[in-house]
Amino acid sequence: METTQIRLAAYPVGEPKDSDFETVTVDLPELQEGQVLLRSVYLSLDPYMRGRMSQAKSYAASLALGDVVLGGTVCEVVESRAENRKVGDLVLAFIGWQTHAVVDARQMKGLDPSVAPVSTALGVLGMPGFTAYAGLLEIGKPKEGETVVVAAAAGPVGSAVGQIARLKGARSVGIAGGEEKVRLLREHFGFDVALDHRSPTFADDLEAATPDGVDVYFENVAGPVGEAVLRRTNTYARVPVCGLVANYNATSAPESSLSFPAFMNLVLSRSLTVRGFIQDEFTQSHGADFAREMGQWVSEGKVAYLEDVVDGLDNAVDAFRGLLTGRNVGKLLVKVGDDPTL
C-alpha cells in the first residue's frame, strides 16, 4: 500500500508558498499486531499549523523539514490487526496531510456517524468547538446580561463562542471581515450584533454596539481589531487569548497603536484578566461536559455550524493560505477521500 504525503520542504517566510511543501508517494510498512491501516476521509486545516511551520519557540515543537504536515483527520479503517478496530470503522486520528497511514489502534477515537456527521469531529464537536467552550467558560466566565465580543467570529471557534455566550445569557458581538460573513453572523449563527472590521466606520460601529462596554473579549486575531476592543473593556473584564492569526505570516514586528505600557496600564487600571490558553490543558476538567453539552446543543439546533470543504489533498496548500487570510467561512476541511457515510 502506498500513501501520498505533503511534507514540509522549507520553513515559510511570510505567506506559505508552494515551494515550502513537497508531495511524495511512498510505500507503507506492513501491518503489525495492534495496528490498523487508515484511509483519510477529511483533513482539518487550522491556524495553529502555521506556528508549527516555524522554528520560533512556542508551546509545541516545530515540524522538522521533511516531516508530513500535521493535522487532525477523520479516517476509515481499511485493514486491521487490532481486536478493537474492524474494517469500515470510522475514527478520529492525527495522520496529517496524507492519504493513508499505518497507526497503532490505541491512537485514535471511534466515531458514530448515526450521532452526528463524522466531519463535525474536526469542527464544532472537535478541537475548535472545545477551544471555544473551554476558553469561554473557564476564562471568560460570561454572566447573564454581560457583553461578549469575539474576533474572527465567522470561523469555527469564534462562531461557537458567540453562540455559547448567548446560551449562557450573555449578549454576543461578532467581528468578521466582509459583508457576507457579517450577514452569516446575524442570520446563521444568531449573534446579537455583527460588525465588519473592514468598514471605515468600524471604531464607531464598535462603540455603538457596546454602549455598556465589553465584559469578555475572546481574542483570536490580535492586531487593530483587538486594540479597538481592549479600549472598550470594562473593569474586571476577562480576555481569553486563543490565537493571534493576524500576525502568523508577519516577517517583522507589527505596527501597533497600543504600546506595551499603554496595554499594561489598561490591565492595571481596569483590573483585566488576560489569559492565554491551549485547549488541551482543559481536556480533563471540561472534556466530558463539552461532549455532553455541545453534542446536545448541536443535535437540538441550538448551536449552528458551517463547513467549508475543499476537494482533494492537492488543494490543501492553497486552502491553508486562504485560511490565514480569512478566505474561508466556518470550519475548513479538505476532503481527501470518499466519505462512506454520504
Q: What is the pLDDT of residues 218-244, one digit of tens each?
A: 999 888 999 999 999 999 999 999 988
Q: Of 240, 263, 280, which one is at a domain's C-terminal end?
A: 280
Query: In this structure, are 144 and 227 located in the same domain?
Result: yes
Nearest to 151 by CA among 96, 63, 227: 227
Residue 188 lies in a domain: yes
Query: In this structure, are 117 and 147 located in the same domain?
Result: no
Q: Of 244, 264, 280, which one is at a domain's C-terminal end?
A: 280
Confidence of residue 285 (pLDDT cuts 50, 70, 90): very high
Structural domain for 26, as ranges: 2-123+305-335
Confidence of residue 250 (pLDDT cuts 50, 70, 90): low
Structurally, the chain folds into a number of domains equal to 2
CATH of the domain at 149: 3.40.50.720
Q: Which residues in the chain belong to E strands, given as ranges?
A: 2-8, 21-27, 35-44, 73-80, 90-93, 100-104, 109-110, 147-150, 171-176, 193-196, 214-218, 233-241, 273-276, 307-311, 331-335
Residue 293 lies in a domain: no
Query: In this structure, are 13 and 61 located in the same domain?
Result: yes
Residue 341 lies in a domain: no
Mean pLDDT score across all residues of the chain: 95
CATH of the domain at 15: 3.90.180.10
C-alpha–C-alpha distance, residues 13 and 333, integer Å: 24
Beta carbons of 241 and 219 less than 8 angstroms apart: yes
How many helices and strands, by DSSP H and E, does the chain display? 9, 15
Residue 285 lies in a domain: no
Angle at CA of residue 264, ends 262 and 270, nearest 5°: 100
Quick one: pLDDT at residue 23? Answer: 98
pLDDT average, residue stretch 107-121: 96
What percent of the chain is predicted at pLDDT more than 90? Answer: 89
Query: In this structure, are 73 and 218 located in the same domain?
Result: no
Residue 330 lies in a domain: yes
Beta carbons of 103 and 113 less than 8 angstroms apart: no
Query: In this structure, are 71 and 147 located in the same domain?
Result: no
Residue 291 lies in a domain: no
Q: Which three cell numbers stand for residue 79?
A: 485493514
Query: In this structure, are 110 and 136 located in the same domain?
Result: no
Question: Which residues are 150's β-sheet partners?
Answer: 174, 218
Quick one: pLDDT at residue 26? Answer: 98
Query: In this structure, are 116 and 131 located in the same domain?
Result: no
Q: Which three cell numbers stand for residue 289?
A: 461536559
Residue 295 lies in a domain: no
Query: In this structure, are 247 and 133 located in the same domain?
Result: yes
Quick one: pLDDT at residue 55? Answer: 87
C-alpha–C-alpha distance, residues 331 and 126, integer Å: 11
Q: Which three cell numbers stand for residue 334?
A: 479538505
Confidence of residue 4 (pLDDT cuts 50, 70, 90): very high
Query: In this structure, are 161 and 269 located in the same domain?
Result: yes
Checking if the pLDDT of 247 tops 70, the result is no
Residue 174 lies in a domain: yes
**pTM for the structure as a whole:** 0.93
Query: In this structure, are 50 and 109 located in the same domain?
Result: yes
More confident position, 169 or 327: 169
CB atoms within 10 A of CB 24: 13
What percent of the chain is predicted at pLDDT more than 70? Answer: 97
Query: In this structure, are 50 and 191 located in the same domain?
Result: no
**Cell 485493514 belongs to residue:** 79
Query: In this structure, are 175 and 232 located in the same domain?
Result: yes
